[in-house]
Each structure stands twice: as structure tokens, then as C-alpha cells.
Amino acid sequence: MIASPRTLGLIANLSEFSGTELTCHSPIDGSLLATLRADAPEEVDRKIGLAVDAFRQWREVPAPRRGELVRLYGSKLRQNKEELAQLVTQECGKVIEEGRGEVQEMIDICDFAVGLSRQLYGLTIASERPEHVMQENWLPLGPVGIISAFNFPVAVWAWNSALALVCGNSCLWKPSEKTPLTALACQSLFDDVLVQFEDAPSALSQIVLGTYVQGQQLVDDNRIPLISATGSTRMGQAVGQRVAARFGRSLLELGGNNAIIVTPSADLGVAVPSILFGSVGTAGQRCTSTRRVIVHRCLFDQVFDMLKGAVQQIGSSKVGDPLDAATLVGPLIDEAAYEVMQRAIERVRPHALEIVGGQRVREDLCGVYVHPALVKLNEQVESVCEETFAPLTYVMPYDSLDEAMLTHNSVPQGLSSAIMTTDVREAEYFKRYSDCGIANVNIGTSGAEIGGAFGGEKETGGGRESGSDSWKAYMRRQTSTTYFGTARPALAQGIRFDV
């Protein structure tokens, strides 16, 4: 299945990028989509230089005018939503409905950023000294390096770039080596908009193609004050330390190990569909996928059996070609992901009360398709504390909510969490004590809206992207005090320094 000319047609100058270093295969059937070159070190260096020049020009453009560029880009995405969604599905394998959702997320963040471009507010702070004015100003930061993961090949870039651009920054995007085509398509659409916009420099947003090697070059370059990196905790640990070593700033969005607690008062008609979407949706390849379900013992067997029935139904008839509208679970990204999933199942097997699914299916399609797996456990064992990026969900019992909370929080990651309850006390207790960046009530762990700040604690990296005041990460804060009097200026803290 070669990507149709319609979808690859989104990339205006594909031949310019052809080479031998990056081979792009579709996870749908393993077919070769394109072979691309990776940027050589001197090319990355040149692009960083261009990004610095572009930043110097762009920061002079008033923020609402910068917002206008993002507005035009949002319109361009609306016009090309279906083609881009198809390419997302062809390149990363998520079902087409989720491919469309991902492009919609890009459009939504553009809308958000347009409004934001008129709201980059600072503060006026009461000064302790007479005839003094103290202010907090937010200023453009510089070129922003964006490193993204394969599973949200376009939305995460849009979260970062839409905000970074209205904040007055230029962008350098190193997409996942598994999904460079969608990145090139986004860049082509951006370039189309840029030519209509006189006051924007041509290198305002650039792509750096390659692997971790090119990522590392961005990470180590002093000219890039902010690295926003999305991916595994392993990657984040390396990136965070290297950026810190040069006193740069990093915004890390890393792995999750998300759980849903199901209490005795839960409405199972709400809980079970939410758990299912979180567990098997996107073939378990979301950072917010539901990996653990912690169920009160009085509902444990019932909830497990309900989930088992649904997972078996999905595994037997709804796993397949993600471009087919009837499919709910597409392929895993590659063979390595399947092997990691199998190893996780083998590690947990000695502790499991029951294991459903996990085997390979649809071998006729030549991609890596699996029957989603469900593991029934008596307690949370060591291997459950690791993120397995596949449709593998552990179901465990609890007796008291304190105990459930302890189990919930005793993993190294802290991204998304949820409780299923109709008891307001349980809901408030959960929101207070969940150690995650996201804590939902009667909503699953995956599928966040762009309006809220997105991100997590602990090994998830502490970064916040997207809505709320996440824009502040893309600007530098300056405190400024002005004296407008004529007498000798007073010193703070009443200090006297009379000469």
C-alpha cells in the first residue's frame, strides 16, 4: 500500500528530501512509502543559524499579527484535513477516525493560539517604593527546538509551534524518524501560508530530518533556548540532562502508566466504554492509554468479565486496516513494539490469574496486528510499573480507597489518571491525592482537550503544553521597575545609602 498521490501530494517538493538514510514504511502493510535523507551536521547547523535570524525578524512583528499567520495556517489545515488525516493513518497506523481527530486537534490549537495572540498579559505589581512602577513583561524567547514522537506525529508539533509562533519565536522541528512524511506535509502547508504573509521570514519554521543524532545536535546547541521533547522517559532523561548542562530550558512530555480506579458506586455503563477506549484505542499507543485498572473487589470479577467480552469482540472482528471505517484497532508501529509487548506478557504470566488475547492476528495484512491483551492480577507486580506501549491492560482488585490510591501512585510515571464513581467524596479524594498531571472523574485517561494544560509529573517530565497558561514556557519573563520621581531614588527594603 503506497500512500496515494493525493496524500503524498501534500508534500510539494518531496524529491528534494529523497535519500537513503530514512526509510518510511507504512505499518498498515509494511509497504515502502518513501526513502528520505537525514540532515548532515552542517545542514542542521545552517538551519539553526537561519532560525536565529528568523527569530530576530519575527519578534518585531506585533503578537496579534503573528496570530494572523497562525489563523491562516488553521484555515489551511481545515482545507486539507482529510488528506492530512489519511497520511497520518498511512504513516503511523492509527485508525482514520483518530487520524482526523489528530488534525482537528491541530486546528483547535491554532484557534486557541490566535485568541492568545491578543492575551499575552503581564502584570503590574504594587511597588513598596514611592513613585515606582513594577511590571512583569513576557518577551519572545528564541528558536524553539521541537522533538516529537511517532504516535502523535502532527498534533504535538502543532501544540508547540502554534504557541511558540504567537509568542514571537521561530521553530525547528525534528519529527520521529518513523513519521517524517506527515511532518513534511505540515511544513509544505505552512510554506504555502508563509508566501501569502509578507512580514514572516521564510525560515520561521523548519524541519530537521533524522534520528536521535539530529535531535541531539539541537539539544546541545546554545542558540536554542528551549527544547520541547516528547517521547519515552529514556529519551527525556538524556535530553533533560544535556539541556540542563548548558543551562537551557526543556519542556518534557514523556511516558505514562495511567490507571483508572473503579469504585463500588461506579456507573459501569460509563466506566466500561471509557476503560475500553483508553486501553485498546490507538492500539494502546497513546501516552495517556489506560494501562492499569484498579477495581473494588466487589466488582472485580464483573468488571473483568465485561472488559474480557468487549476485548474478545474487538480482537476477533475490529482489528485491521486503519483506513477501513469499521476498524477500531489498527497495527502496532513495528515489529519491535510487538516484541516488547510479548516480553511484558511473558514477565507477568507467572503472576496472572488469567490472560486474554495478546496474540498476533490479521497476518494476511502483512502489518503487525495484535489481539488486545487483558491481564487479571491479584496485585500490582513489578513489571506493571513499566510502560508497555501496546494494547496491554492489567486489571487488579482493591479493598479500600486508600489502598487503591497507594497502588495508583506507586509507579514512576505521573501522566493521566481517572476514577469511576458517583460518590462526590470519592471523586474529591481522588483529585486531591492522584499524583498525576491529569485527574479525571467518570472520563477515561486518554483524549484530552486542548484548552487545559497537558502534561504529567514524576518520570513523565513535569512539562505542560497546549492550553491554560502553558504559553509562558515559550517566553521569557522579565521583571521591570521604573522610577518616575525626581528625588534621590529610594532603595528596596528601606536600605539607606547616603553619600
Question: What positions carry a catalytic annotation?
Answer: 253, 287
**68, 135, 212, 441: residue in contact with ligand NAD (rule CB under 6 A):** 212
d(CA 348, CA 374): 11
Does position 93 bind ligand NAD by CB under 6 A? no
Question: Rounded to a whole number, what is the distance in angstroms from the first to the last CA of the chain?
Answer: 83
Told to check if 467 binds ligand NAD by CB under 6 A, we report: no
Interaction of residue 149 with ligand NAD, rule CB under 6 A: yes
Q: Which is nearer to ligand NAD, 67 or 414 (CB)?
A: 414
CB of 239 to ligand NAD, least distance (A): 5
Work out which of 39, 387, 426, 459 binds ligand NAD, going by CB under 6 A: 387
Is-contact 88 333, C-beta < 8 A? no
**CA 87 to CA 44: how far, in whole Å?**
26
Report the relative pairing of strands 373-377 and 352-356 from DSSP bridges.
antiparallel
Q: Does 150 bind ligand NAD (CB under 6 A)?
A: yes
- Residue entry with cell 510499573: 385
Asked if 38 interacts with ligand NAD (CB under 6 A), we say no
Residue 264: is it exposed, middle or buried by C-beta count within 10 angstroms (0-12/13-18/19+)?
Answer: middle
Least distance to ligand NAD from the beta carbon of 177, Å?
Answer: 5
Measured from the CB atom, the residue of 90 and 217 that comes closer to ligand NAD is: 217
58 lies in the site for ligand NAD, by CB under 6 A: no
Shortest Å, Cβ 440 to ligand NAD = 16
Selected from 84, 146, 209, 235, the binder of ligand NAD by CB under 6 A is 235
Look up residue 76 and give its three cell numbers.
Answer: 489551511
Return d(Cα 327, Cα 338) in angstroms, integer.
19
| Cβ closest to ligand NAD, residue 287 vs residue 373 | 287
Phi-psi label, residue 197: left if phi above 0, alpha if psi -120 to 50, beta otherwise: beta
Residue 257: CB minimum distance to ligand NAD, A: 9
b/e code 217-237 from CB counts within 10 Å (16+ = b)? bbbebebbbbbbbbbebebbe
Do the beta carbons of residue 321 and residue 330 sit within 8 Å? yes
Kindly tell me which residue out of 120, 203, 219, 396 binds ligand NAD, with binding defined by CB under 6 A.
Answer: 219
Under rule CB under 6 A, residue 216 binds ligand NAD:
yes
Binding span for ligand NAD by CB under 6 A among 5-13, 65-73, 172-180, 484-492: 172-180
- The site string for ligand NAD over 403-422 (x = CB under 6 A, - otherwise) reads ------------x-------
| Residue 151 within binding range of ligand NAD, rule CB under 6 A | yes
Question: Least separation, in Å, of the C-beta of 369 and ligand NAD?
Answer: 18
User: Per rule CB under 6 A, is residue 152 in the interface with ligand NAD?
Assistant: yes
Contacting residue, 34, 147, 186, 200, with ligand NAD by CB under 6 A: 147
CB 259 within 8 A of CB 175: no
User: HEC string of 339-395?
Assistant: HHHHHHHHHHHHHEEEEECCCEECHHHCCEEECCEEEEECCCCHHHHCCCCCCEEEE
Residues 241-270 that bind ligand NAD (CB under 6 A): 253-256
Query: How many CB atoms within 10 Å of residue 3?
Result: 24
Dihedral Cα 170, 174, 176, 177, nearest 10 deg: 150
The whole-angstrom separation of Cα 158 and Cα 62 is 21
Minimum CB–partner distance for residue 217 and ligand NAD (Å): 9
Question: Which of 52-60, 145-153, 362-370, 375-383 is the region at the interface with ligand NAD (rule: CB under 6 A)?
Answer: 145-153
User: Minimum CB separation from ligand NAD for residue 290, in Å?
Assistant: 13
Cβ within 8 Å of residue 437, ≥6 positions away: 414, 415, 416, 453, 454, 455, 456, 457, 460, 464
Least distance CB 140 / ligand NAD (angstroms): 24
CB atoms within 10 A of CB 488: 9
b/e per residue, 422-460, with b = 16+ CB within 10 A?
eeeebbebbeeebbbbbbbeebbbbbbebeebbbbbbbb
Query: Of 231, 284, 358, 372, which one interacts with ligand NAD (CB under 6 A)?
Result: 231
Binding mask 273-302 vs ligand NAD (x if CB under 6 A, - otherwise)?
--------------x---------------
How many residues contact ligand NAD, by CB under 6 A? 30
Minimum distance from CB of 126 to ligand NAD (Å)? Answer: 38
Contacts of 456 (CB under 8 A, 6+ apart): 253, 254, 256, 413, 414, 415, 416, 436, 437, 438, 462
Using CB under 6 A as the binding rule, whether residue 230 contacts ligand NAD is answered as yes
Residue 168 interacts with ligand NAD (CB under 6 A): yes or no: no
Q: How far is the CB of 116 from ligand NAD (least distance, A)?
A: 20
Helices (H), 380-465: 401-409, 424-433
Contacting range for ligand NAD; rule: CB under 6 A; set: 232-240, 270-278, 305-313, 342-350 = 232-240
309: CB partners within 8 A, 6+ apart: none
Interface with ligand NAD (CB under 6 A), residue from 57, 104, 137, 211:
211
Query: Closest CB to ligand NAD among 222 and 493?
Result: 222
Residues in the site for ligand NAD, rule: CB under 6 A?
A: 147-152, 156, 174, 176-177, 211-212, 215-216, 219, 230-232, 235, 238-239, 253-256, 287, 387, 389, 415, 460
